[in-house]
Structure 1
Amino acid sequence: MTRRTPARPADVETLFPELIPFRRASVRLHPRAGSPSCHDSSVGGPLLWPAAEPWPVCREEHYDPDAVSELQGDVPMVPIVQVRQADAPGVPFPEGTDLLQVLWCPYAHGEYCYPLPRVHWRNTGGIGDILPTPAPVEGLPKDWYPDPCVVHPEQVTEYPSRDLSWDMRDALRARFDELQASTGLDYGYHLAEAPGIKLGGYPGWTQEPCWPDREACGGRTEHLLTVASWEFDGESWRTWLPVEDRTDSGWAETADNPAGLCLGDAGSVYVFECRACPDRPVGHWFDCS
């Protein structure tokens, strides 16, 4: 089944033509519980991993997010997202690749207690024999890695909210308020960034934006992936809930959190990359309410 976001109930570019230069495309993955194979695009599913390449482990200092205790030893990383290029329209894959894989260590790291992601770009034609994806080791914090889900990719158009400059926010504030008063639509919640797990577009920041710096090359990082706790929340569902998941009472029971994630206080992990560097180094940030 496909997943289609309803047409915007307000024409953003007519109401706010100043936002046209900031328009970006994203690919909402719309994960839903299922049994993907290693050949499929998926969230939390098995990866098309070469048998000649060891499964990655995390050797960083890490903590159990549900406790204060420090943990020792190597931790196998868990699959987060696998996306074939054919399922990611508009996403710029590196030349010679057609598969994106993202894994992370599901324990807390650093001052802000974030998962530690790793990004792999692959050419499926060169993988050869496949290494079976290991089952998650016992004792991992369950809501820090996704349940296996099939995906229903959909390209949508986004506009920034928190990534707008303060001058632009001030210039548009009166029209944002007028829209909300007349329609009940909050620009940030209902019209700006798509919620949920997605590629490209803008991060749906809970706090103020924190884009990783690239001092080494002077390039600007680009948003690659958002891994969000929920597909939508109690406000954003009005405009972002897919048509196929709508019911007379609101939404289908499992549509809001099909992957079973809860990152901190319903937060998100954002993965960024520098496309100015040949090896496309990545950065990440985690925020929650």
Structure 2
Amino acid sequence: MSMAAVLQLSKTDLPEMEFPEDSDIFQLIWCPEEHDDEFGCGPYAKACWRRRQDLRDSVGQPAIEHNRYAEWSNVPRECRLFPERITENPPITDPALLAEVNAWLADNAQHDMEVMQLPPETRAWAYEGVFAESPGSKVGGFVSYVQEEYTPLCIFDASTEHLLTLSSGDGEAGHRWAPSDIPRDSSGNAQCHLVRRSDTCFGDCGSVYIFICRKCSNWPVYALMQCC
């Protein structure tokens, strides 16, 4: 099984993220093949918790078979990561409550929608569109499921928790969730094509959710892929 490097995070950049004792670097790798298991079909993921002082400049052989996987859409293109903190709200699954919240926003949040340059035709469903959970790539937060809600159990039937989400196209939600330093056009849409991104696409423009079990001693992770 060949593994591809996907993501590296530093405890210095993300002090809110829980790391095992005596580690300060998190690395996510996975096999780009689609693996069928009880969680569905998606990449096989593995977490590596390391100490910065143990890392070396030379990593030896490439982590993937470039002639086989390099052009695959679930192998990220190398790029730098600039974490940015956001505020999001939990999803609302009760249709009656969701309608009530959207009605309140229509009466009380018009100024916010104007500032965000939110198109008028989208304001009727503003909560799930711009005020609830972010659909993009993120660490922690609320899971923005593409399909039905599902939290996997680990192989020992212990509960897991959402660690991070990787979204197709890096989650370029035009008006609300794009990074603050990305240029926008006259309508407020983020011009994400102007920056170097990972250029991932999971299934039919879906997302990969990484869940972690901290009850197991090695803190294993599990990948759940959902797409339209």
What residue in structure 1 maps to residue 16 of structure 2?
90
TM-score (norm 2): 0.79
Find the partner of 2:77 among 147, 163, 177.
147
CA distance 1:149–1:257, shift in 2 (3 Å): closer
Work out the CA distance in 1 between the residues paired with 2:192 and 2:9: 26
Tell me the SS of whatever aligns to 1:188. helix
CA distance 1:128–1:256, shift in 2 (3 Å): closer
Structure 2 gaps of 5+ residues are: 111-122
1:275 aligns with 2:201: no
Structure 1 gaps of 5+ residues are: 1-57, 59-75
User: Contact conserved, 2:9 with 2:25, CA < 8 A, in 1?
Assistant: yes
CA distance 1:121–1:175, shift in 2 (3 Å): same
Q: Which has the higher contact order (CA 8 A, sep 6+)?
A: 1
- After superposition, what is the alpha-carbon deviation per residue over 1:85-106, rounded to whole angstroms, capped at 9, x for unaligned? 1111300011110000001111
Work out the CA distance in 1 between the residues paired with 2:207 and 2:155: 25
Tell me how far 1:136 sits from its aligned partner. Answer: 4.2
- After superposition, what is the alpha-carbon deviation per residue over 1:48-95, rounded to whole angstroms, capped at 9, x for unaligned? xxxxxxxxxx2xxxxxxxxxxxxxxxxx21110011111113000111
1:120 aligns with 2:48: yes
What residue in structure 2 maps to residue 202 of structure 1?
142
What residue in structure 2 maps to residue 248 of structure 1?
185
User: Contact conserved, 2:213 with 2:220, CA < 8 A, in 1?
Assistant: yes
What residue in structure 2 maps to residue 192 of structure 1?
132
Tell me how far 1:257 sits from its aligned partner. Answer: 8.2
User: Contact conserved, 2:84 with 2:179, CA < 8 A, in 1?
Assistant: no
Corresponding residue pairs, total: 207
Q: What are the equivalent positions in structure 2 for 1:35-114 lying under 5 Å apart?
A: 58=1, 76-110=2-36, 112-114=40-42
Indicate the larger mover: 137-146 or 181-190.
Answer: 181-190
Indicate the larger mover: 238-247 or 101-110.
Answer: 238-247
Indicate the larger mover: 242-251 or 80-89.
Answer: 242-251
Work out the CA distance in 2 between the residues paired with 1:187 and 1:203: 15
CA distance 1:208–1:244, shift in 2 (3 Å): same
